[in-house]
Each structure stands twice: as structure tokens, then as C-alpha cells.
């Protein structure tokens, strides 16, 4: 009899343990699901974006050429050197220019002296003519000589100005602050007007050039906004857009130029970039970016139903959007419907899903 009571007590204890375990298996997902943070799949109107390849260019870029004849005596800057506006880049020999300057100064002084003489002669002839001691023709001749002398002074001053300019051309200065990207000459070379000397550009102001198909050019003109992005550098939004008034005959694309309002770190002329043009608006299904998980080649979210059950569902995502209030969100193109809830903590949701499967 005692043995039967012991067996019965042990059986009741085992039943109690089994009931407790069953209660734990059922309750854990429910309690955990209640504490699992979720977000509702929402629909919002977001900009429609057209993406194009772009090239970063310097607004101020030029190749300096010689403007006078001479032999290069000094070069002060080389490739990759930073220069400021007005810096002397190189110098020429200036013997010819100095001689021309001396001749022009002498000619200008001679013209001034002849003008003084002509003025004095005209004054004398005018006084004599007033006393009717000379003919009218003498007065006319002195007046013509005076005007000729005045014109010779102007011509001499112009020659002097040109000679002075030729002398200044022997010293080549930077037209603006920038970086030297190519040097075309060496010390000792003799150059003529038009010979390339140095090529450089300024990093103070950049622009992006791209092309858009004719089907998109009207929308690009209408919205007038583009976002320029390079790798991991901070993107730049530009609203200063110029659309060329003609299309390329071969590609039928329109060239678009966007002036960058600022120059973030990492932007340099010649770099490849992406241009994101706003061409319209459309409704999109959005979820927080933190809800998206990547498992190997699968992109998915953890969906939580009304009963608190967690499911793993593959989705196809689109563009990302940054909002100051909602944070970063991602467009879902397929896999979710409006109003569904997704887990904001994928790690915790994955543990709950595993628990549910074990149950």
C-alpha cells in the first residue's frame, strides 16, 4: 500500500513538472513578443529619383600660355604644389622687353617735347595772325601741326603701355588660388606667345557634369534639384542646375551641369560620381532601416502578427531615405503589405523565432 502511494506521488510530481514546462513553452513567446519593439509598415509620398553617372570638374581650370617671347630662367612651382592668387610661377629673360621699354619711354618723351614746341608755335602764329601780319594758311598749318603732335603723344603713350605690358609678361603669376596639375616647360626653354606653360585648377568651387535622356530632361528642368554622391563622402545637394538647350546627335542625351554649393572632403576634379535627380513623387511602403536583415544573399525582415508570433520573410528593397523625425527608412518593393508590423530588434526576434520553432 505504501509502495503504491509513493508511485502515485511521483506520478503527480511528474505531471506537475510537465504542466509547468508546458506553461513555460507557451508563455515565453507571448511575454517576449509583448516586449519586442515593432514598427508598422507605412506608406509615404517620397521623391522619385533618376540616377545618372557624373564627372566632377573644377569651375576654375586653365592652361597658362606664354604671352611674350623669351627664355625661361626660373620655375618656382611644380605639379601638386598649392599656389595662392598672384604667386609668381616662373620668369623669362627680359632683355628684349627692357630694350623695348627704353625705346618706348624715349619715344614718349620725344613726342611730349614736340607737342610743347607745337603748342608754343601755334600760340605765336595765332598772336601774329590777330595782328594780321600772316596769312590764314599759316594759322591753319600751325593748328594742324599741333593736332598731329597731340596724336603722336597718344601713340607714344600707347607704345609705352604695350612695352610695359610685354615686360610684365616675363613674370607669370597665378590668376587664382589652386593646385598645379601639369608643367609643360623646363628651365632654359625658349618660348613664344601661345606656348603652354602650366595647367592648374582651383578646388574652391566644383561642379558635376552628367547627361540625361530626353525622356527625363523635362522633369529635371521642372524640379531643378540633384544630389551628388561620391563613394563614402558626404553627398552635396545642388539647386543650381544648367540644362544645355540641345541634345547630342548620337545619344540624344542632354548635358546637365550642377554647381556644387560646397566642396566636402573627398571631392576632386576628374572623379566619378553619381547624380540623383528628383524627377517626381510617388507613394512608397517604408520600414525603418534597422528592421532590415541580411542573411547570406537573402534580404528579409521579422514580421510580428497580431498573436505575437514572429515570422521570417524575404523582401525586396529599394531606395533609402533619411528623415530627421523618423530616421533612416528603406523602401520595400515586395514582401510586405501596408499595416503589417516588423521587429525593430532582429537579433531578439530571431531568438523568439527559434524558440517558437522548438516549441
pLDDT tens for each residue of 198-228: 999 888 888 999 999 988 888 888 888 888 9
User: Phi and psi (nearest 5°) for 211?
Assistant: -135, 145
Res 326: pLDDT: 62
The Cα–Cα gap between 226 and 56 comes to 14
Statement: residue 20 has pLDDT above 60: no
pLDDT at 158: 94
Q: What angle do CA 37, 39, 43 make, to 5 degrees?
A: 175
> How many other CB atoms are found less than 10 A from the CB of residue 119?
15
Q: Is 86 left (phi over 0), alpha (psi -120 to 50) or beta?
A: left
**CB under 8 A, 24+ apart: contacts of 195-199:** 195/65, 195/66, 196/63, 196/64, 196/65, 197/63, 197/64, 197/65, 197/66, 197/89, 197/90, 197/172, 198/63, 198/64, 198/77, 198/89, 198/90, 198/172, 199/61, 199/62, 199/63, 199/64
Strand 240-247 and strand 298-304: the pairing is unpaired
29, 149, 211, 356 from 313: Cα distances, Å: 18, 97, 39, 15
Report which of residues 170 and 15 the model is more confident about: 170
Q: Where are the alpha helices (DSSP H) in the chain?
A: 2-35, 95-130, 136-168, 214-223, 346-358
- The count of residues in the chain is 359
pLDDT at 99: 92
Q: Identify whether the C-beta of residue 290 lies closer than 8 Å to the C-beta of residue 302.
A: no
Helix (H, G, I), strand (E, B) or coil at 207: strand
> pLDDT higher for 356 or 95?
95
3-state class of 10 per DSSP? helix
For the domain 69-93+170-200, what is the CATH code? 2.40.50.100
More confident residue, 265 or 244: 244
Contact indicator for 282, 322 with CB cutoff of 8 Å: no
Tell me the domain boundaries of the chain: 30-46+284-358, 51-59+202-282, 69-93+170-200, 94-169
pLDDT per residue as tens digits for the range 152-176:
999 999 999 999 999 999 999 998 8
Note the pLDDT tens digit of each residue in 25-54: 343 444 444 578 888 888 888 878 888 899
- pLDDT value at position 32? 46
Average pLDDT in the chain: 83
Nearest to 47 by CA among 275, 256, 283, 228: 283
* Cα-based angle 96, 75, 172 (whole degrees, multiple of 5): 55
Query: Which CATH number among 1.10.287, 3.90.70, 1.20.1300, 1.10.3470 corresponds to the domain 94-169?
Result: 1.10.287
**Domain 51-59+202-282 part of CATH 2.40.30.170:** yes
Cα dihedral 343/348/350/356 (nearest 10): -100
The pLDDT of 315-339, averaged and rounded, is 81
Interior/surface letters 152-170, b for 16+ CB within 10 angstroms, e for the rest = bbeebeebbeebeebbebb
> Rounded CA gap, 191 and 170, in Å?
11
Q: What does the DSSP assignment read for 41-71?
A: -EEEEEEEEEEEEEEEEESSEEEEE--S-EE
Share of the chain above pLDDT 70, in %: 89
30-46+284-358 maps to CATH 2.40.420.20? yes
Helix (H) or strand (E) run with residue 322 in it: strand 316-323
Q: Do domains 30-46+284-358 and 69-93+170-200 have the same CATH topology?
A: no
φ/ψ of residue 55, rounded to 5: -125, 130
The pLDDT score that the predictor gives to residue 325 is 62
Of residues 179 and 10, the one with the higher pLDDT is 179
Amino acid at each position: 500500500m505504501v509502495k503504491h502511494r509513493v508511485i502515485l506521488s511521483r506520478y503527480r510530481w511528474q505531471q506537475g513538472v510537465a504542466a509547468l514546462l508546458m506553461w513555460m513553452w507557451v508563455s515565453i513567446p507571448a511575454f517576449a513578443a509583448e516586449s519586442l519593439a515593432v514598427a508598422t509598415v507605412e506608406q509615404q509620398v517620397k521623391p522619385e529619383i533618376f540616377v545618372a553617372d557624373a564627372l566632377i570638374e573644377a569651375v576654375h581650370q586653365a592652361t597658362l600660355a606664354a604671352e611674350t617671347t623669351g627664355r625661361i630662367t626660373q620655375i618656382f612651382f611644380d605639379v601638386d604644389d598649392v599656389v595662392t592668387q598672384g604667386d609668381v610661377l616662373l620668369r623669362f629673360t627680359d632683355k628684349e622687353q627692357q630694350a623695348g621699354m627704353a625705346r618706348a619711354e624715349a619715344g614718349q618723351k620725344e613726342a611730349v617735347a614736340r607737342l610743347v614746341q607745337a603748342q608754343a608755335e601755334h600760340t605765336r602764329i595765332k598772336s601774329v595772325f590777330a595782328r594780321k601780319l600772316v596769312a590764314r594758311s599759316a594759322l591753319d598749318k600751325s593748328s594742324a601741326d599741333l593736332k598731329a603732335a597731340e596724336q603722336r603723344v597718344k601713340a607714344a603713350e600707347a607704345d609705352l603701355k604695350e612695352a610695359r605690358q610685354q615686360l610684365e609678361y616675363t613674370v607669370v603669376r597665378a590668376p587664382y588660388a589652386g593646385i598645379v596639375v601639369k608643367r609643360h616647360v623646363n628651365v632654359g626653354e625658349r618660348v613664344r606667345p601661345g606656348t603652354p606653360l602650366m595647367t592648374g585648377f582651383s578646388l574652391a568651387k566644383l561642379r558635376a557634369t552628367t547627361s540625361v535622356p530626353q525622356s527625363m530632361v523635362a522633369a529635371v528642368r521642372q524640379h531643378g534639384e540633384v544630389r551628388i554622391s561620391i563613394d563614402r563622402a558626404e553627398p552635396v545637394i545642388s539647386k543650381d542646375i544648367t540644362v544645355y538647350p540641345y541634345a547630342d546627335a548620337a545619344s540624344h542625351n542632354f548635358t546637365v551641369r550642377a554647381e556644387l554649393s560646397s566642396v566636402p572632403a573627398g571631392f576632386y576634379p576628374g572623379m566619378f560620381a553619381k547624380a540623383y535627380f528628383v524627377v517626381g513623387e510617388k507613394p512608397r511602403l517604408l520600414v525603418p532601416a534597422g528592421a532590415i536583415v541580411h542573411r547570406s544573399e537573402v534580404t528579409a525582415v521579422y514580421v510580428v502578427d497580431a498573436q505575437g508570433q514572429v515570422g521570417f520573410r524575404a523582401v525586396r528593397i529599394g531606395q533609402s531615405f533619411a528623415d530627421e523625425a523618423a530616421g533612416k527608412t528603406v523602401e520595400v518593393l515586395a514582401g510586405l503589405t501596408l499595416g503589417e508590423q516588423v521587429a525593430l530588434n532582429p537579433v531578439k526576434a530571431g531568438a523568439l523565432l527559434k524558440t517558437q520553432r522548438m516549441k
